[in-house]
Chains A and B, each alone.
Chain A
Amino acid sequence: MSRQSSSLTPVGAAAGLFLISVLAVSCACLSVLGVKLSNAPVVPWEQLIPLGVYAAGVPFVLVWLKLIGWRGDAGVVGAVFLLCGMGLVVQFRMGSFAQGLAAPLALVPLPLGLAAFAFGASLTSKGRGAWLTGAGWLAYLAALAALAALLVLGRRYRGGMYTAGNMNPSEVVKPLLVFFLAVYLSRRQKAFSETQAGMPVPPFGTLLGLVFLWGGPMLLTIALKDLGLMVLLNAILIVMLFAIARSTGYLAIGLAAVAAAGFGVRFISAHAQARFDVWLDPFADPTGKGWQILQALSAMYSGGLWGAGLGAGVPQTVPIVTSDFVYAALAEEIGLVGCGLLLMVYAALFSRGFRAAGAARTPFERLLCVGLTGSLAVQTLLNVAGVTKALPLTGITLPLISHGGSSLVTTLFMAGLIAGLSDRK
């Protein structure tokens, strides 16, 4: 395929993908709007602002990419904006923008996120990101500071910690730690690559250093009782260790550790135990602890193969459907077919991210790209698996689709970095 379209510049291809995305998103949006109108004869102009910002803002990002001479992977950019558009439609459908201009803060994340994407892409394209390696320790300290600040200032809401305006600063911890690990591990590539009989055996000192450093964020996530973040960070660590050492041993160790932790955590945290028990048998307490997941599964069941149509379902019956359980709303309205397509887009994004990592010039860039892509991939998997009851719930949001300002900005920034890294010239 790549040879056929050699005449097409990457930005041109991305623009083409965006155009098709806009067509799909418009149909979805029209359907939602139609349902809203048939219920109440008022055009919700203010609620359409985010979609307008999307349609007008993304071309600006593409123009910016053209200006900086970006020649990366168009598929990455196309996938990101298709998912982002779907996210906006779902949030519009669920009434997340219902307050309109009365809550201007809710309108800020999208333009901010688009800018973050453009900024991220400029930062890392064409190997420009090399000088960043000097800031590795700064990122580590910043991640610790963000977690500590959350511990001190945050307030608890539905088992998670948030600060003012329900912003979740733990979002920024992900890219910061990925960046730190990319710097740290790329400088110790040799040490971590040592293997014996297929199993990695890094020198004791190196291992001890990593364990010591990793202990900081781990202890803080335990103190925050943010089980989801802890699982996610450890998954990122395993993926990045695998990427630097290219030893499947790390993946095996990782899987074993996940199984052990999943079993062991039940004895430590009552919260985790409860989630584990609900996962094993949601029907034990169907109207209490099992209510949310069973309502989500009921939503899926009623969606069936083709879905109820956007706007035509009743997903608001699932508690907190706009954030963690947004996938259930989508499953009800776009059906299993739509979900399959959606997961295909995610898979394409991650696959392209990993491919871009493989093509990167320096170990640092390679690791950064693997870490960022892996982070988004693990997040997607944990969320979707949780909502479908394939795994216990971890309270992790669905990248680019779940409601949440800090999450959207961070995710778009991470995606921007990946898009930048895919351009290595």
Chain B
Amino acid sequence: MLETVVEFLNGAQGRDFFRFLKVAFLAFFTVAALAVLFAPRARPGRVSYGLLRVIVTAALAAVLAYQATWQLAGFVKPDFVRFMRRYNKRPRAAETQVMRGPILDRRGLVLAAPVPGDVWGRRYPLGESAVHPVGYFHSRFGITAVERVCDPELSGYPAETKEDFPGKNLFAVRAAEGAAVTLTLDAGLQAKAYELLEGRKGAVVVMKPRSGALLALVSSPGFDPLNPQSAVEDDENSPVFNRAVQGRYPPGSTFKILIAGMALEKGLSPVYACPGMGYIAGPNTPPIRDSEYYAYARNGAVWPGWGRLGLEEALVHSSNVYFAQLGVGCGTPAFNRVMARARINEALVYLEAASGKLKTACGHAPEVARKRKLALLAIGQGEVLVTPLHVACFTAAVAAGGEMARPRLRADEPVEKLGMLFMPGTAKQLGEMLRKAVRSGTGRAANVPGLEVCGKTGTAQAPGGDDHAWFTCFAPQRRPGIVVTVLVERGGFGAKAALPVARALLEEADRLGYVRQTGEELK
């Protein structure tokens, strides 16, 4: 019995039935409204509130007229038309539904795919590990990241222009099917990187140094893209926050790569005395010390200091005392120049589509630096802040012979160069130093046999808790194929918390064939 009813309702006659009900409802509603309007009235009293009645009625009529400018004439408002074309979910519904295109990784593996028959359904095989770069497409929480900026193509609209007004037939001009969007990500690396962070707060960036292609862009903790509710409400861990591109952290010793390059460009390679008591940049400033000072002090011993250090030794041992002096020695103009070339104060765009961009947060390096400020900035402390993606980019520039490439998330975007960060000779020298830092210095644990890893640890002090742990590296030293940057928030020592993640990723990337290059670098 019920089946018959359901069948009837879903059939052609059902449509007539609903149309009949619609007409009948409006007819009865009209009669009811008119009856209320003309029902017998009470006799007018001594006082008349005609003015109030007129005001209320006129105000309601005015609101209705204003409503009509949206409801009937909304198509004349360009912003509104653009909004509806992108975000009105109705044309996605019912008969007009267009199958939303998938998002794929560089090998064609699915990162996001439609669910047949479900307008808002979406399948995310990588789940929480890729939610930050891929985004979500949710009926209640909206659209984010790649799902958002690539929405016109994914949902079957041609590229939009401002003059594009199809009038009432707003939704008529669409392709039969949404286009696929292919990213530079490698699903395997992305998942592995997320897994290696083990739920700690942090970020991982894996990219190709010359093309800027992002192989992994991970922020942890992640969240289920199908159910962002709890993530949105979690103020303590803020999983929605993309730490890899939006998180701004003091770079700590990873910044010494830039400072060393700056000195080399100036033709400086000084030898400084690095006493155990540290370096005092000016009156009333606390001394800048090497981390060994604190390690010795904890054991009741006194750190004798590195003695006289050259640039290479200082970078290998990550001596704060040396780099503070080097920063002061190079001076403000040189510092500002290298900050400008590294684009520290700019946002890096890593995906540009017709309907929007994805970009990092702006880093921060103060423009004018006095001597004692400069000492702190030179060791990546003080006011300087960068995003993990930015650290990966300047590491990539060193790997790529000094030229910085724009990071890219979309496979079909052309390679774009952001100019020379260092001269090729400088980059080569830096590469040798970073190789030594892994062979015999702070990054020893990352020395994967046969990979010639070059890298730099970082342990950045930040107010309100433990240090942030950094490790940024590339491999191999000659013809580098890959850059890996790891940040673990409040992770403590870079060599302890961040380095093992990078090492495991280098091994995984090597297994996948990204590190040792056989021919031309893959896009």
Contact of B12 with A by CB under 8 A: no
| Distance in Å: Cβ of A339 to nearest Cβ of chain B | 7
**CA A354 to CA B66, docked complex, whole Å:** 25
Q: Which residues of B contact A (CB under 8 A)?
A: 2-3, 5-6, 9-10, 14, 17-19, 21-22, 24-26, 28-33, 35-49, 51-53, 55-57, 59-64, 66-68, 70-72, 74-75, 79-80, 83-84, 86-90, 93, 139-140, 142-144, 148
Contact of A298 with B by CB under 8 A: yes
Complex contact B42–A359 (CB within 8 A): yes
* Contact flags A7-32 to B (C-beta < 8 A → 1, else 0): 01010010011001101100110110
A selection of 15 A-B contacts at a CB cut-off of 8 Å is A31-B21, A31-B22, A41-B2, A43-B2, A78-B36, A242-B52, A294-B80, A301-B71, A301-B75, A305-B72, A307-B22, A314-B93, A348-B37, A352-B42, A390-B63
Pick from A5, A31, A340, A358: contact of B49, CB under 8 Å: A358
Complex contact A351–B56 (CB within 8 A): yes
**CA A358 to CA B71, docked complex, whole Å:** 37
* Contact flags A271-302 to B (C-beta < 8 A → 1, else 0): 00000000000010011100100110111111
Pick from B6, B40, B48, B88: contact of A358, CB under 8 Å: B48
Given the known interface contacts A10-B40, A17-B35, A20-B32, the answer about A301 and B68 at a Cβ–Cβ threshold of 8 Å is no
Pick from B29, B30, B70, B84: contact of A389, CB under 8 Å: B70
Complex contact B40–A13 (CB within 8 A): yes
**CA A339 to CA B65, docked complex, whole Å:** 11
When C-beta atoms are compared, the residue in chain A nearest to B55 turns out to be A251
When C-beta atoms are compared, the residue in chain B nearest to A8 turns out to be B40
Contact of A381 with B by CB under 8 A: yes
**CA A410 to CA B5, docked complex, whole Å:** 40
| Distance in Å: Cβ of A92 to nearest Cβ of chain B | 14
* Contact flags A327-362 to B (C-beta < 8 A → 1, else 0): 000010011111111111111111110111111100
**CA A124 to CA B142, docked complex, whole Å:** 50
Complex contact B56–A347 (CB within 8 A): yes
Contact of A248 with B by CB under 8 A: yes
When C-beta atoms are compared, the residue in chain A nearest to B356 turns out to be A287
Q: Would you list the 10 A-B pairs with minimal beta carbon distance, nearest first?
A: A359-B45, A24-B28, A75-B39, A27-B25, A38-B9, A354-B49, A298-B88, A283-B79, A358-B45, A31-B21
| Distance in Å: Cβ of B178 to nearest Cβ of chain A | 19
- B61 contacts which chain A residues (CB < 8 A)? 343, 347
Pick from B32, B48, B67, B87: contact of A287, CB under 8 Å: B87
- A243 contacts which chain B residues (CB < 8 A)? 49, 52
Contact of A401 with B by CB under 8 A: no
- B25 contacts which chain A residues (CB < 8 A)? 24, 27-28, 31, 310, 334
**CA A20 to CA B38, docked complex, whole Å:** 14
Contact of A73 with B by CB under 8 A: yes
Contact of A196 with B by CB under 8 A: no
Contact of A304 with B by CB under 8 A: yes
- B33 contacts which chain A residues (CB < 8 A)? 82, 341-342, 344-345, 348
Please give 14 more A-B residue pairs, beta carbons under 8 A apart, in addition to A13-B39, A38-B9, A358-B46. A1-B40, A20-B28, A31-B25, A78-B32, A79-B36, A301-B84, A304-B71, A345-B32, A345-B37, A352-B41, A358-B49, A359-B42, A359-B47, A370-B49
Complex contact A351–B53 (CB within 8 A): yes
- A208 contacts which chain B residues (CB < 8 A)? none
- B64 contacts which chain A residues (CB < 8 A)? 336, 339-340, 343
When C-beta atoms are compared, the residue in chain B nearest to A377 turns out to be B56
- A251 contacts which chain B residues (CB < 8 A)? 51, 55
**CA A305 to CA B9, docked complex, whole Å:** 24
- A242 contacts which chain B residues (CB < 8 A)? 52
Given the known interface contacts A37-B9, A75-B41, the answer about A354 and B53 at a Cβ–Cβ threshold of 8 Å is yes
Complex contact A358–B72 (CB within 8 A): no
Q: In residues 46-87 of chain A, which contact B (Cβ within 8 Å)?
A: 72-75, 78-79, 82
Complex contact B84–A343 (CB within 8 A): no
- A360 contacts which chain B residues (CB < 8 A)? 45
Complex contact B63–A388 (CB within 8 A): yes
Complex contact A388–B90 (CB within 8 A): no
**CA A344 to CA B66, docked complex, whole Å:** 15
Complex contact B72–A336 (CB within 8 A): yes
Complex contact A347–B71 (CB within 8 A): no
| Distance in Å: Cβ of A393 to nearest Cβ of chain B | 14
Complex contact A388–B70 (CB within 8 A): yes
When C-beta atoms are compared, the residue in chain A nearest to B120 turns out to be A317
**CA A341 to CA B28, docked complex, whole Å:** 11
**CA A319 to CA B68, docked complex, whole Å:** 22
**CA A37 to CA B46, docked complex, whole Å:** 55
Given the known interface contacts A17-B36, A314-B90, the answer about A356 and B42 at a Cβ–Cβ threshold of 8 Å is yes
- B35 contacts which chain A residues (CB < 8 A)? 16-17, 20, 78
When C-beta atoms are compared, the residue in chain A nearest to B17 turns out to be A34
| Distance in Å: Cβ of B381 to nearest Cβ of chain A | 33
Complex contact A248–B51 (CB within 8 A): yes
- A248 contacts which chain B residues (CB < 8 A)? 51
- B80 contacts which chain A residues (CB < 8 A)? 283, 294, 297, 301
Complex contact B60–A381 (CB within 8 A): yes
Pick from A27, A346, A354: contact of B52, CB under 8 Å: A354
**CA A355 to CA B49, docked complex, whole Å:** 7
Contact of A385 with B by CB under 8 A: yes
- A35 contacts which chain B residues (CB < 8 A)? 18
**CA A350 to CA B143, docked complex, whole Å:** 42
Contact of A246 with B by CB under 8 A: yes
Most chain B beta carbons < 10 A, residue from A37, A339, A345, A354: A354
- B36 contacts which chain A residues (CB < 8 A)? 17, 75, 78-79, 82, 345, 348-349
Complex contact A309–B52 (CB within 8 A): no
When C-beta atoms are compared, the residue in chain B nearest to A5 turns out to be B40
Complex contact B28–A287 (CB within 8 A): no
Contact of A303 with B by CB under 8 A: yes
- B2 contacts which chain A residues (CB < 8 A)? 37, 41, 43
**CA A21 to CA B6, docked complex, whole Å:** 27
Most chain A beta carbons < 10 A, residue from B35, B46, B84: B35
- A304 contacts which chain B residues (CB < 8 A)? 71-72
**CA A231 to CA B49, docked complex, whole Å:** 22
Complex contact A1–B74 (CB within 8 A): no
Complex contact B63–A381 (CB within 8 A): yes
Given the known interface contacts A338-B26, A341-B29, A347-B56, the answer about A37 and B41 at a Cβ–Cβ threshold of 8 Å is no
Complex contact A73–B42 (CB within 8 A): yes
Given the known interface contacts A34-B14, A301-B84, the answer about A74 and B52 at a Cβ–Cβ threshold of 8 Å is no
Contact of A239 with B by CB under 8 A: yes
**CA A242 to CA B35, docked complex, whole Å:** 30
Pick from A8, A294, A300, A302: contact of B67, CB under 8 Å: A300
Complex contact B38–A1 (CB within 8 A): yes
Contact of A422 with B by CB under 8 A: yes
Complex contact B87–A338 (CB within 8 A): no
**CA A344 to CA B48, docked complex, whole Å:** 21
When C-beta atoms are compared, the residue in chain B nearest to A313 turns out to be B90
Contact of A374 with B by CB under 8 A: yes
- A72 contacts which chain B residues (CB < 8 A)? 42
Contact of A414 with B by CB under 8 A: no
When C-beta atoms are compared, the residue in chain A nearest to B67 turns out to be A388
Complex contact B26–A337 (CB within 8 A): yes
* Contact flags A413-425 to B (C-beta < 8 A → 1, else 0): 0000000001010
| Distance in Å: Cβ of A53 to nearest Cβ of chain B | 20
Given the known interface contacts A309-B19, A350-B56, A388-B63, the answer about A422 and B142 at a Cβ–Cβ threshold of 8 Å is no
Contact of A380 with B by CB under 8 A: yes
When C-beta atoms are compared, the residue in chain B nearest to A40 turns out to be B6
Complex contact A17–B6 (CB within 8 A): no
When C-beta atoms are compared, the residue in chain B nearest to A243 turns out to be B49
When C-beta atoms are compared, the residue in chain B nearest to A281 turns out to be B79
**CA A350 to CA B49, docked complex, whole Å:** 11
| Distance in Å: Cβ of A404 to nearest Cβ of chain B | 20
**CA A1 to CA B93, docked complex, whole Å:** 48
**CA A62 to CA B10, docked complex, whole Å:** 40
**CA A384 to CA B68, docked complex, whole Å:** 13
Pick from A336, A349, A350: contact of B68, CB under 8 Å: A336
**CA A390 to CA B40, docked complex, whole Å:** 33
